[in-house]
């Protein structure tokens, strides 16, 4: 009786081990079939997706667009030794800037008969720079001590003024000299640097 029980127990145990081992093999085989990286017949990789971008690089998403480049500063145009007679004006947008007769008529800069320089154009402004202060486009853009006119008695050779026109031009006026005593006309000699469309 004991021998029969042992045999039954032994056969049952072996059958159980066989069934459990067989189930483990099936699970392992199923797991291997689902693993990414298993090669297919076409040479592709199962489980790895690749969605090509519109540029064919294989990377998804669009490339960041380039930032627009900053607008370049205009090149300065310099006019030297302009003799601006009282009662005349300058227009910075002219190809050749030279004194024209007339004042108080929307011009960019005039030497008024009242003995002052005036920013004439609508929206135009002036800034008298400090003695020794060197005018540049950056300085003229930054200065905000605006006025519409500067009396001639406040000027001396070497003084500079920034002029912004209502049309968006920017000019740097440098006083060089005044008409001598006994001259039949009253004028001042100026250098003018213009940055067309240079105002910001």
Task: Give the domain ranges of the chain.
Answer: 77-195
- What pLDDT was estimated at residue 16? 45
d(CA 152, CA 158): 13
- What pLDDT was estimated at residue 194? 98
- What pLDDT was estimated at residue 28? 47
- What pLDDT was estimated at residue 66? 61
- What pLDDT was estimated at residue 3? 41
Strand partners, 116: 112, 151
Q: Which comes out higher in pLDDT, residue 107 or 81? A: 81
Q: Which comes out higher in pLDDT, residue 12 or 116? A: 116
């Amino acid at each position: 009786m004991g021998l029969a029980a042992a045999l039954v127990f032994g056969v049952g145990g072996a059958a159980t081990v066989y069934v459990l081992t067989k189930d483990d093999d099936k699970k392992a085989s199923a797991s291997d079939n689902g693993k990414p990286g298993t090669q297919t017949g076409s040479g592709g990789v199962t489980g790895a997706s690749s969605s090509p971008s519109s540029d064919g690089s294989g990377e998804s998403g669009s490339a960041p667009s380039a930032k627009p480049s900053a607008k370049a500063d205009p090149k300065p145009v310099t006019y030297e030794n302009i003799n601006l007679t009282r009662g005349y004006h300058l227009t910075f947008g002219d190809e050749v800037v030279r004194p024209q007769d007339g004042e108080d008529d929307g011009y960019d800069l005039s030497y008024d008969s009242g003995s002052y320089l005036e920013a004439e154009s609508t929206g135009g402004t002036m800034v008298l720079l400090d003695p020794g202060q060197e005018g540049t486009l950056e300085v003229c853009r930054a200065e905000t001590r605006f006025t519409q006119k500067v009396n001639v008695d406040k000027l001396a050779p070497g003084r500079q003024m920034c002029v912004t026109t209502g049309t968006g031009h920017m000019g740097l006026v440098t006083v060089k000299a005044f008409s001598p005593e006994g001259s039949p006309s009253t004028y001042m000699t100026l250098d003018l640097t213009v940055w067309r469309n240079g105002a910001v």
